[in-house]
A and B are shown apart, each in its own frame.
Chain A
Amino acid sequence: MLVGNAAFIPGNFESISTVIVGAGGSSFVEFTSIPQTYANLQIRGIGLITSPDGFTFQFNSDTGSNYSWHQMWADGSSINFNYGLTQTLMYMAFGSGNATSPSAFVTDILDYKDTNKYKTIRSLSGNDISGAGGNVQFWGGNWRSASAVTSIKIMSPTINQYSKFALYGIKD
């Protein structure tokens, strides 16, 4: 640090990793070896999918029936509700399916490294494709494990090129 410069004060919201889907697409993206130095995690995602489908999450490669989720969603004509219990994955976003109008989600994983708690996840997501429809959703989810989250896998049948998923850590 050069003399005379203002002190650098690092922020509490830090970028951990970003995945951009390449040519050919993929059925998943994964964040691994997540640092255990934050209080909460946030994933900000832009997903290009070509048929209506959800984005599902798994933690620490757990494929057991340890996930539950609840959803409130609206499509412009009605507000609807859905849920899943004792599932092998967790829905946290849904897209109407369009190659150029991205689905978006902001997902928070709170107290991700606390080994005294099951993990609570919340998400705001949506997708509007103008004359072809739209969908906005609130989600709440639960991973029934007291393990610290060290990896997160996000899946959808076809996640197209240019989709982008960014993982952030938030400090106390």
Chain B
Amino acid sequence: MAITYEPIASTTLTTSAANITFSGISGLYTDLVLVGSAKSLLSGTDSFGIAVNGNTGAIYSRTYMEGNGSTGTSGRQTAQIRIVSDYIMGTSGVADFGVYTWNFMDYSNTTTKKTVLYRGNNTQVSGGWKVSAMVYLVNITAAITSLTITTMNGPNLAIGTTFTLYGIKEA
């Protein structure tokens, strides 16, 4: 039986970098799963921004809920310029990396817009800890062929940041 849940590519930073890009993504799969263990060089906490197909136009919207152990909050934003996922770990806590997962559902179809499900966990010792779930709309019907991951506020992604892209095939 063919492999169904298949690693496509993985990057681990050995020097800090402004972004990580997965390009030339095959249309062979049904869903993409992007998994990250990441840290920003910003003091405090930062946010990820993911551009789909290099598009940094106002085509992204999101609905989220998050909690910090004492308070839960919800919010919505439209017309964003990237898939924005909040509260990645900053420089406090040298060995503290958050864990993040994005599910790009039916990414290669050219009929519907794209829905992305996200879960993120940040347990930064010095504060800014969050657990969150988000849903995104990427307002394109084109297939997703590239993902570019950056920080929204910090200078760079830190050494040791790892992102792995998986493809899930259907029967």
Q: A128 CA to B115 CA in the complex, in Å?
A: 7
Cβ B115 vs Cβ A104 within 8 A: yes
Q: Does B11 contact A (CB under 8 A)?
A: no
29 of the cross-chain contacts (CB-CB < 8 Å) are A13-B4, A13-B5, A15-B4, A15-B169, A15-B171, A17-B171, A44-B103, A44-B168, A46-B106, A72-B65, A74-B63, A75-B74, A76-B64, A101-B112, A102-B106, A104-B105, A124-B117, A126-B133, A126-B134, A128-B115, A130-B139, A131-B61, A134-B63, A136-B63, A136-B133, A162-B111, A164-B30, A164-B106, A168-B5
Question: Chain B nearest CB: distance from A83 CB in Å?
Answer: 17
Q: Does B3 contact A (CB under 8 A)?
A: yes
Q: Does B136 contact A (CB under 8 A)?
A: yes
Q: B63, B73, B134 — which one has the most chain A CB atoms within 10 A of its CB? A: B63
Check A124/B119 contact, CB under 8 A, given A14-B4, A74-B74: yes
Check A18/B171 contact, CB under 8 A, given A11-B3, A46-B105: yes
Residues of B1-43 contacting chain A, CB below 8 A: 1, 3-6, 30-31
Cβ A131 vs Cβ B135 within 8 A: no
Residues of B121-171 contacting chain A, CB below 8 A: 133-137, 139, 141, 168-171
A 156-172 binary contact with B (CB < 8 Å = 1; else 0):
00000010101110000
Q: A15, A72, A100, A125 — which one has the most chain B CB atoms within 10 A of its CB? A: A15
A 124-165 binary contact with B (CB < 8 Å = 1; else 0):
111111110111101000000000000000000000001010
Cβ A44 vs Cβ B112 within 8 A: no
Q: Which residue of A lies closest to B59 (CB)?
A: A130
**At the interface, is chain A mostly helix, strand, loop or mixed?**
strand
Chain B: residues with Cβ within 8 Å of the partner, total of 41
- Top 10 A-B pairs, shortest CB-CB distance: A126-B135, A76-B76, A134-B63, A74-B65, A74-B74, A13-B5, A128-B137, A18-B170, A15-B171, A130-B61
A 29-65 binary contact with B (CB < 8 Å = 1; else 0):
0000000000000001010100000000000000000
Cβ A134 vs Cβ B112 within 8 A: no
Chain A: residues with Cβ within 8 Å of the partner, total of 45
Q: A126 CA to B135 CA in the complex, in Å?
A: 5
Cβ A102 vs Cβ B135 within 8 A: no
Q: Does B82 contact A (CB under 8 A)?
A: no
Chain A residues within 8 Å of B76, by CB: 75-77, 128, 133-134
